[in-house]
Amino acid sequence: MTYIHPAARFSNPANVTIGPHCAIGKCHFYALGEIVVGERSIIGDDVFLCTGSHDIYADDFHLTIKPIIIGSGVWIATGGTILPGVHIGAGAVVGAKAVVSRDVPAGAVVVGNPAQVVKTGRPIPSFDPITLGSIDVETSIRRLRAAVMGTDS
């Protein structure tokens, strides 16, 4: 199963392919061109996947479209922007608010604007992002409340 947040936006959904066991947040697939997401990948809230731009040197400012390919086991954290033509390799992580203008190698962690590699060698995770939603929130809240109140959890 793949989870897609009800408020996720898909411009041209026919251009979007998402693999199994992905978790898709309240993000925007601006799919003028093709967007492909592998399996077990997580796309956070406020992520913008942008396949369209303009030829700023042409008199007619014509539209340019390039696909975005996101590998398996990728995490694009909150607020990331992925620009046209970018390929994000398997297991890579895009840090919060990063602007990714160039390909990201498999297993790399990139942050910033423009996104730069800060770490390499992250293995492709084997967990299922869908089960993350079933993290024991009640236990966490109970422990937090106990810590605040100074009582046993």
Ligand X SMILES: CC(C)(COP(=O)(O)OP(=O)(O)OC[C@H]1O[C@@H](n2cnc3c(N)ncnc32)[C@H](O)[C@@H]1OP(=O)(O)O)[C@@H](O)C(=O)NCCC(=O)NCCS
Give 83-91 contacts, CB < 8 A, sequence gap 24+.
83/50, 83/53, 84/33, 84/50, 84/51, 84/52, 84/53, 90/38, 90/124, 91/122, 91/123, 91/124, 91/125
CB of residue 67 vs ligand X: minimum separation in angstroms? 24
**x-or-dash string of contact with ligand X, 83-122, rule CB under 6 A:** ----------x-xxx-----------x-xx-----xx---
* CB closer to ligand X out of 32 and 37: 37
Cα–Cα distance between 103 and 4 in angstroms, integer?
A: 25
Catalytic-labelled residue, pool 5, 21, 28, 54 = 54
- Residues 20-59 close enough to bind ligand X by CB under 6 A: 44
* CB closer to ligand X out of 20 and 112: 112
